[in-house]
C-alpha cells in the first residue's frame, strides 16, 4: 500500500487493487494541504470525529466520488441528511470487514461537534481507526490525548505505522505523543495535526528524535511512503 500525507490529519491510502482510502479530508481552508477538494477522487472516506478540521470536505468529496463515508453513526447520519448516498456507521470497539480489509473503531480522548447556522451539532464521540489491509496494519489516532489503553492496541495489533497528533493545545504534544508511541509499539510513527495554525506549531523532527532510531518518520506535505 502507498500512503501519502496531505497536511494536518489528511492521509490518503492507495491499495494494490486500486482502492483509495482518505482519512479526515480537511482540504478547503487548510493552508498546509496540496490537494484541491474538487479534484479528489476516493472510494472510502474515514472520519475520526466531528470537528470542522477533520470533517472538512467529506460531503462534497463523497458526492463527487460516489464514495462511502465510514465514521460514528451520528456523523454518518449527518452525512446522509446532507445528500451522501453511501455511509457505514460504526461505534467505539466495533469492527467490520469491508471489501478492502478490516476496520476497527477505537476510542480517542477528545470532543466532537460541528457548527451549523450557529448551532453546535453532536456528531458522536471522537475516535481513531485501526485498519488492516494487504497484511498491514495502520492506526490513525485522530485527535486525542495520550491514554493508557493505547497499550491494549499495541498488544492486540502489530501496528506497521501509527499516525499521531503532536500539535499540543487541542491534542497531545510531542512528549505525550512519544509516550503514546511506546505504548503502541508501532514499527513507524508519523506525526500529524501540527503547524496548520499558530496554536499547534511544532517541530516534527524534534518529535521524531524522541523515538527510537528508525521509528519516527516525518512526511512532508505530498510525500508518500510504501508498506
pLDDT of residue 116: 94
**Domain ranges, residue 27:** 2-226
pTM of the model: 0.98
Backbone phi, then psi, for 182, in 5-degree steps?
A: -65, -40
Look at residue 135 in the predicted model and tell me its pLDDT: 97
User: CA-to-CA distance for 144 and 102, rounded, in angstroms?
Assistant: 22
Q: Which runs of consecutive H residues, i.e. helices, occur in the chain?
A: 52-55, 58-65, 73-81, 150-156, 174-184, 204-208
pLDDT of residue 7: 98
* Cell (9 digits) for 54: 477533520
| C-alpha cell of residue 179 | 509516550
CA 49 to chain centroid, in Å, comes to 9
The pLDDT value recorded for residue 94 is: 98
Q: In whole angstroms, what is the distance from residue 199 CA to residue 215 CA? A: 26
Residue 225: the pLDDT is 98
| CATH at 50 | 3.60.15.10
Predicted local confidence at residue 223, as pLDDT? 98
Residue pair 153/159 in contact (Cβ under 8 Å)? The answer is yes
The pLDDT value given to residue 103: 98
Instruction: Indicate the number of domains in the chain.
Output: 1
| Segments in the chain below pLDDT 50 | none
Among 116, 130, 132, smallest CA distance to 184 is for 130
Looking at residue 11, what is its pLDDT?
98
CB 147 within 8 A of CB 176: no
User: So what's the pLDDT on residue 70?
Assistant: 99
Q: Residues 16-41: pLDDT tens digits?
A: 999 999 999 999 999 999 999 999 99
**Whole-number pLDDT of residue 141:** 98
Amino acid at each position: 500500500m502507498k500512503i501519502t500525507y496531505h497536511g494536518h490529519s489528511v492521509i490518503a491510502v492507495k491499495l494494490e487493487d486500486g482502492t483509495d482510502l482518505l482519512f479526515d479530508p480537511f482540504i478547503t481552508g487548510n493552508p498546509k494541504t496540496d490537494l484541491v477538494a474538487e479534484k479528489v477522487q476516493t472510494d472510502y472516506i474515514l472520519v475520526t470525529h466531528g470537528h470542522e478540521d477533520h470533517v472538512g470536505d467529506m460531503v462534497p468529496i463523497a458526492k463527487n466520488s460516489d464514495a462511502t463515508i465510514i465514521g460514528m453513526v451520528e456523523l454518518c447520519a449527518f452525512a446522509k441528511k446532507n445528500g451522501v448516498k453511501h455511509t457505514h456507521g460504526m461505534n467505539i470497539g466495533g469492527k467490520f470487514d469491508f471489501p478492502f480489509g478490516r476496520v476497527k473503531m477505537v476510542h480517542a480522548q477528545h470532543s466532537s461537534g460541528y457548527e451549523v447556522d450557529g448551532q453546535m451539532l453532536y456528531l458522536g464521540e471522537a475516535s481513531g481507526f485501526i485498519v488492516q489491509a494487504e497484511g498491514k496494519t495502520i492506526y490513525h489516532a485522530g485527535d486525542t490525548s495520550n491514554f493508557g489503553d493505547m497499550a491494549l492496541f499495541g498488544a492486540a495489533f502489530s501496528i506497521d505505522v501509527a499516525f499521531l497528533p503532536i500539535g499540543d493545545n487541542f491534542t497531545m504534544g510531542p512528549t505525550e505523543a512519544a509516550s503514546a508511541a511506546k505504548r503502541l509499539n508501532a514499527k513507524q510513527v508519523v506525526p500529524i495535526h501540527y503547524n496548520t495554525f499558530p496554536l499547534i506549531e511544532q517541530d516534527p523532527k524534534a518529535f521524531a528524535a524522541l523515538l527510537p532510531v528508525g521509528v519516527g518518520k516525518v512526511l512532508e506535505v505530498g510525500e508518500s511512503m510504501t508498506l
